[in-house]
Homo-oligomer: A and B are copies of this chain.
Amino acid sequence: MTTEASDKKYNSNVVFIGEKPFMNYVTGVVMNFTTQNSNEVAIKARGKFISRAVDVAEVSSKRFLDNTVEVVDVKIGSDDFTNKEGRQVRVSFIEITLKKK
- Residues in chain A within 8 A of chain B (CB atoms): 47-51, 54-55, 57-59, 62-63, 71, 74-78, 90, 92-94, 96
Q: Which of B47, B71, B76 contacts A96 (CB 8 A)?
A: B76
Assembled-state Cα–Cα distance A98/B48 (Å): 21
| Contacts A74-B75, A74-B76, A76-B74; A51 near B58 (Cβ below 8 A) | no
Residue on B nearest A73 in the bound complex, by CB: B74
Residue on B nearest A92 in the bound complex, by CB: B54
Assembled-state Cα–Cα distance A58/B94 (Å): 11
Closest CB pairs A-B (n = 8): A50-B51, A58-B78, A74-B74, A54-B92, A51-B51, A54-B76, A58-B92, A55-B92
Given contacts A58-B78, A74-B74, A74-B76, 14 further A-B contacts (CB under 8 A): A47-B51, A50-B54, A51-B51, A51-B92, A54-B76, A54-B94, A55-B78, A58-B77, A58-B92, A59-B90, A62-B90, A63-B90, A71-B76, A76-B96
